[in-house]
Structure 1
Amino acid sequence: MTDAPESSTDSVPATTDGPLGADLRRGPFTEGERVQLTDPKGRMHTITLGTGKQFHTHRGYLAHDDLIGRPDGTTITNTAGVEYLALRPLLPDFVLSMPRGAAVVYPKDAGQIVTMGDIFPGATVVEAGVGSGALSMSLLRAVGDQGRLYSFERRDDFAQIAKGNVNSFFGAPHPGWSVTVGDLVDALPQTVENGTVDRVVLDMLAPWDCLGVVGDALAPGGLLICYVATATQLSRTAEAMRDHSGFTEPQAWESLVRGWHLEGLAVRPEHRMHGHTGFLISTRRLAPGVTPPVRKRRPSKGAADGYDEADVQAVMPSGEWSPEDVGERPVSDKKVRKLARSFSEQQSDQERPGG
C-alpha cells in the first residue's frame, strides 16, 4: 500500500475525551447549536442560536437569548403571543434541513444501510460518494470514535459541503473520518490495504465499475451494499456482482414509509407518503479462491442473455452515466460553489486565534 496524496485526504485527530457529539445531545441549549422550533400548526423552523440574534416571522419575533440556557423540550412565546416548542433536532431532522449540494440519502434508507449492512462499532468502512454528508453522519455514529470511515468523493465542492455539515452535526471533526477527493478506483488501493475493510457502501451512478477494487479491499465475509436509483442500475449492478465471481448471490430491496394521521377518531394513513427513493442491493465477499455455489433455481426466459450494451450505447453514446440519466435534477454549480465557500469561511474563522 502506498500513501495517498496529502492534498487529497482530510484526516483529523480526536478533540474530545468522551464520545464525540454526546455533549450536544443533552443539557441546556447553548450558543452555536441548532434548535428546531415547531409552531401550533406543526410547521418547523431550524435556527442556530446566537447571542443577540432574533428569529422573525410575519407574526412577531423571539430572541435567541430567551432560549440559550433553557432545557431541551421547552416552549417559548414570541412577541405576537405565538407559542413554539423548542427541541434539539434529531439526526433525520438535521439531514432534511441542512444545506445541500448533492441529493441526500434519506433517513429511511440510511437506517436500512446501517442495519442491513451490519455497520458495527469499531468497523472499518469505505463510502463513495459523499454527496452532502447525510449518510456519512449515520455511518460515523455506527462505527463510533474507535472505528474508521474512509469517504471518497469526485467533486471537491461536494466534499467541502459534506465536511461542513458533518462537523456542524458532531460539533467537531470526527476522529475516525477521512475524506479523499478523487475517483474510488484510483484512490482506494492507495488508501487501504487489501483485505482490511469490513464494509463498503457505494452511492454512485455506476457502482459496477468499482467492483474490482472493492473486492480486493474487502476482508473475507465483508459486506458490500449499493444504493441505486433506478431498476436499470439495479439490474446491471446485480449482474456485475455475479460476473465478478468473488461475491455471494446479491439481494435487493426497497423500503416505503407511510405516515399515519392521528386526530381523534380520524386515524388513517396520510395522503402523502415517502415512496420510492432508491434500491439497496447487498452481497458478501467470498474467501480467496472460493467460487459461489451454483444457482439452483431456473432463470426466467431471456435472463441468460445478459445486459445489452447496445441499448446502453443508444441512450448514452459516451458510456458515462449522468444524474440526468437516472432522473435526478441537475445541481446548480452556483449554489454548490456558494455553499462550499460558506463552509470554507466558517472553518477559517474557527482556525483563527480567538475564533
Structure 2
Amino acid sequence: MHRGPLRAGEWVRLVDQKGRKHNFELVPGKRFFSNKGHLDHDELIGREEGFTVVSSAGGEYLVFRPLLSEFVVSMPRGAAVVYPKDAAQIVAQADIFPGAHVVEAGVGSGALTCSLLRAVGPYGRVTSFERREEFAEVATRNVRQFFGVPEGESHPSWELNLGDLQEELPASGRRCDRVILDMLAPWECVDAAASALLPGGILCAYVATTTQLSRYVETVRAHGGFTEPQAWESLVRDWHVEGLAVRPGHKMIGHTAFLVTARRLAPGARAPRKTRRPAPGAYGPDYTGPRPDGVPADPTE
C-alpha cells in the first residue's frame, strides 16, 4: 500500500465543506473541475496526504488517499461490488488470517479481492476464478490501482484464473484454507469446494436472494461433509450527533446480500444429526431442492 507523498497515478479523495466527496486519479498537467472552480493535480502531487487545498473559486477541500472502504464504492465496475460491510463480515466470520490460502469464485470488480489480499498478507495467497473476461480485466485494473502495482505486473499474492471453479479447482489438485463463493449459483460449486478445503476450513457464500439462500443452504446440508450452515445479513445505520440532537440517520445501508458459512469436516466424518424436526411446511410437496437425510417432503407424513 502507498506511503509517503502523493504520487502521479494514485487516487485521491477530496471532501468539500458540505461533505461531498470526489475521487480521481492524479495525472500530471490535468485539472479537477467542480462548481467551486478548478484545482491543478500538480498542486497535490508530492504533498503528504491530510492537507487542505483551496480551488480557484475559493472552495476548500480536504485531501486524503481513499480508504479501501471508500475506494471500492467509487472504483470502476464491471460487476456489482461486495460492499465494505459485507467484506468486513467475510474477513471476520470466515476467519481470513495472515498466511491463509483463500480461493475466491466470482472476482467481479475486485472489491472483495482487495480485502482478502489485505487479510492474508504477504505470506498468504488468494486464488480467484472468474468466468467472464471483461470482469477479470476490470478487477485486475482495480487491484493494481489500489495496491500501487506497476502496469504489466500483478499482485505477488494473487493468482487470477479465467475459468469455472467448478471444473478447474478439482483438476488443479489445490488444497486451501477458505473458499469464498460470490456467484449466481454457488450450490454448483459445493462439491468442488469440499474437495479443495482442508479439514476445519471454511466455506462462505455471498447470495442476494432468499431463493438462492434456501437452495444453497440445503445443498450444503445434503452434501454431508460440512457443519450446519449459518446464514445472516448485516444492516448498517449511521447516527446524527450534534450537541443534544442525537438521533438515527435518515439513511442506512440495508439488505445487500446474505452470508452463509460452514466448516469442512474431516474425511469420512459426519456432523451429529439434527434432532429438531423442521417446521410444518418447511419441505412441502412443491419443494424440489436437496433435503437433509431422513427429512420427508412433507414433515406431517
TM normalised by structure 1 equals 0.78
Tell me the equivalent position of 1:213: 192
Residue of 154, 160, 179 corresponding to 1:179 = 160
Cα separation, partners in 2 of 1:235 and 1:126, compared to 1, 3 Å: same
Cα separation, partners in 2 of 1:106 and 1:306, compared to 1, 3 Å: farther
Tell me the equivalent position of 1:53: 30
Tell me the equivalent position of 1:236: 215
CA distance in 1, matches of 2:66, 2:31: 19
Q: How many residues align?
A: 285
Asked if structure 2 preserves the Cα contact closer than 8 Å seen for 1:202 and 1:226, the reply is: yes
Q: Does the alignment pair 1:252 with 2:252?
A: no
Deviations 1:54-93 (A, max 9, x none): 1111321111111112221100001111110001100011
CA distance in 2, matches of 1:101, 1:47: 18
Tell me the equivalent position of 2:124: 147
Which amino acid in 2 is paired with 1:90? L
Alignment of 1:257-276 (within 5 A): 257-276=236-255
Secondary structure, in 3 states, of the residue corresponding to 1:30? coil
Cα separation, partners in 2 of 1:206 and 1:115, compared to 1, 3 Å: same
Deviations 1:154-185 (A, max 9, x none): 10110000001001101112111111111111
Q: State the 4+ residue runs in structure 1 displaced beyond 6 angstroms.
A: none
CA distance in 2, matches of 1:224, 1:269: 35
Tell me the equivalent position of 2:48: 71
Asked if structure 2 preserves the Cα contact closer than 8 Å seen for 1:256 and 1:275, the reply is: yes
Deviation, structure 1 residue 306: 8.1
Tell me the equivalent position of 2:58: 81
Deviation, structure 1 residue 238: 0.9
Which amino acid in 2 is paired with 1:188? L
Tell me the equivalent position of 1:121: 98
Q: Does the alignment pair 1:157 with 2:134?
A: yes
CA distance in 1, matches of 2:121, 2:93: 17
Tell me the equivalent position of 2:21: 44
Tell me the equivalent position of 2:296: none
Deviations 1:252-283 (A, max 9, x none): 11000001112333221111100000000110
Q: Which has the higher strand share?
A: 2
Greater mean alpha carbon deviation, residues 215-224 or residues 65-74: 65-74
CA distance in 1, matches of 2:217, 2:140: 31
Tell me the equivalent position of 1:30: 7
CA distance in 2, matches of 1:192, 1:122: 19
Tell me the equivalent position of 2:75: 98
Tell me the equivalent position of 2:182: 203
Tell me the equivalent position of 1:296: 275
Unaligned runs of 5+ in 1: 1-20, 311-355
Cα separation, partners in 2 of 1:198 and 1:83, compared to 1, 3 Å: same
Deviations 1:100-130 (A, max 9, x none): 0100000000000000000011111110100
CA distance in 1, matches of 2:215, 2:5: 50
Deviations 1:23-45 (A, max 9, x none): x1x32212211110001111000
Asked if structure 2 preserves the Cα contact closer than 8 Å seen for 1:123 and 1:148, the reply is: yes
Deviations 1:186-233 (A, max 9, x none): 11123343xx21000000111111111111111111100000001111
CA distance in 1, matches of 2:286, 2:12: 49
Which amino acid in 2 is paired with 1:214? A
Deviation, structure 1 residue 147: 0.9
Secondary structure, in 3 states, of the residue corresponding to 2:177? strand
Deviation, structure 1 residue 305: 4.3
Tell me the equivalent position of 2:85: 108
CA distance in 2, matches of 1:222, 1:237: 18
Secondary structure, in 3 states, of the residue corresponding to 2:90? helix
Tell me the equivalent position of 1:286: 265
Tell me the equivalent position of 1:348: none
Q: Does the alignment pair 1:191 with 2:172?
A: yes
Which amino acid in 1 is paired with 2:207? V
Asked if structure 2 preserves the Cα contact closer than 8 Å seen for 1:236 and 1:307, the reply is: no
Bigger RCO of structures 1 and 2 (CA < 8 A, at least 6 apart) = 1
Which amino acid in 2 is paired with 1:93? E
Unaligned runs of 5+ in 2: 290-301
